[in-house]
Structure 1
């Protein structure tokens, strides 16, 4: 019988402590779930039980800026190299060998980097909504993606984004306009009001210019599933169309029709089916 002591509730790296939700069959293959902005590990609440029913153990951290013990103030602390290293440390702490890595939104960006830099740690990688980072950059200048990503520039402003998102009415309006339900928008915004958490989440955007992409080190060789939804208000189709050029391993691309950006909340059954097929293949 599994006891609470057998579960990972937190792990540490470089003086920071990350909260973890470790659920499902304790002896099952591990699926590491990485959330995006402005969510936390609860964004997987609808998907995780479906994976448990398939026999998988899910491990979902509250990432840098979200866990109370991991909210550094400086924006440079949120560089992509640090975010990826946090996930590598989690996998090392688990000590189970290779894992299946799944990321949504910013979690997908981290998953892409881990897959490129540490393929030895992964059985598969699944990226939800966000395409390969170099494909995304190219899409920014060759399609309407730059217009869709206007908020990334707005988030560079000091203090103003915090004030807007901390306002229950304005913050909720922003998230609902992107496809979230009012209930989920309130869930995520209320959690972001914890001291330092909103600044930490926004610092992911503010640090994105501090890492120069290295195309030679960005090739992905592990089996890859990329899932995009055609109702995504933030991510257009161009980045996904360009993504195969950066994947050398087995690659599968799936489009969820009529689904918004918030795939794990909105379409967990469809995502579970795709993951089950991907993991078994």
Structure 2
């Protein structure tokens, strides 16, 4: 995990935030996904810093030990969006360039849709707009199969047992695409008591109504998808455009898996900076 984590108090919780880059630079808020943490941006941020951006990457709800409520309902999408806003408030940031991967992308989409005044640009990575994703799961058989792992993740106790058994072999398998040298970086924190349950609670609190009810995004937006993503197919990816009314760009990376920030950090940084430059 990043060594320069700063505790930020927000909403009665304490979030560990990796802050770096020019202190007077435009702010970029980077939201990680499952089963990772703020360290997933480590290879992306040097290019952002070189371009003059100040980056803030929080360990989100459940991933920061000081922000780990017990109830499943505490991990609803609305709570996670409120966390991101509260972190920006605590940092004194009125509006930020927003980047999110996986579950972080879902939070970023919802934040941009509901609070466009707080978002200068949006770069969503891997996971499309929640309404497009929910529609794809309900209507596209291929996407439904790709998302079938969520049924296990929503089963309390069973999912933890499966993922942590045999020295966390299944969890390590999920993370295989990040590269052999990075797997332990993400897996080790989730083996701490209560950590994996908190991370899985994002899935258990997930509501089809909340996902499908996310409105259109009006801010300038880039969606970065990869054709080697086993979790998100092209049907869902291409459906994303219908839910953005602001300037929109779809970037498809060939031969890259779901783990874009780890596997293709230069291409991702290029997409983020191109969106900001525009």
TM-score by length of structure 2 reads: 0.94
Structure 1 Cα separation of the partners of residues 193 and 185 of structure 2: 16
Provide the residue aligned with 1:160 in structure 2. 158
1:210-269 per-residue CA deviation (whole Å, 9 max, x = no partner) reads 753464x61110000100000001111111211111111111110011000000000010
Q: Per the alignment, in what secondary structure is the counterpart of residue 55 of structure 1?
A: coil
The alignment partner of 1:202 has SS state of helix
Moved over 3 A (4+): 210-215
Alignment correspondent of 1:173: 173
Closer, same or farther in 2 for the Cα pair 1:95/1:261, shift >3 Å?
same
Q: Structure 1 residue 173: deviation in Å? A: 2.4
Does the 8 Å CA contact 1:165/1:189 hold for their aligned counterparts? no
Write the deviation string for residues 6-52 of structure 1: whole angstroms up to 9, x where unpaired. x9822223321111111011111111000000000000000011111
Q: Which runs of 5+ in 2 are unaligned?
A: none
The answer to whether 1:258 aligns with 2:255 is yes
Q: Which structure 2 residues correspond to residues 1-281 of structure 1 after superposition, within 5 A?
A: 9-143=6-140, 144-167=142-165, 168-176=168-176, 179-209=177-207, 212-213=210-211, 215=213, 218-281=215-278
Once residues 237 and 212 of structure 1 are traced to their aligned partners in structure 2, the CA distance between those partners, rounded to angstroms, is 23
Provide the rounded CA distance (Å) in 2 between the counterparts of 1:184 and 1:145.
Answer: 28
RMSD: 1.6
**5+ unaligned residues in a row in structure 1: which ranges?**
1-6
Post-superposition offset of 1:187: 1.8
Q: Within 2, Cα distance between the matches of 1:221 and 1:29?
A: 20
SS in 1 for 2:183: helix
Assess if the C-alpha contact under 8 Å between 2:31 and 2:38 holds in 1. yes
Q: Equivalent residue of 1:212, what SS?
A: helix
Q: Is the 8 A contact 1:99 1:122 kept in 2?
A: yes
**What is the CA–CA distance in structure 1 between the aligned matches of 2:120 and 2:175, rounded to whole Å?**
33
- 1:69 is displaced (CA, Å) by 0.3
**Mean alpha-carbon deviation: is it higher for 185-194 or for 42-51?**
185-194
CA contact (8 A) 2:29 2:98 kept: yes
TM-score (norm 1): 0.93
- Range that drifts further, 92-101 or 67-76: 92-101
Q: Find the aligned partners of 1:98 and 1:172 in 2 and give their Cα distance.
A: 36
Partner SS, residue 165 of structure 1: helix
Which secondary structure does the structure 1 equivalent of 2:255 belong to? Answer: coil
Q: Provide Cα deviations, 1:136-194, integer angstroms capped at 9, x if missing partner.
A: 01111222111001111111112111122223323222332xx3323322221111112
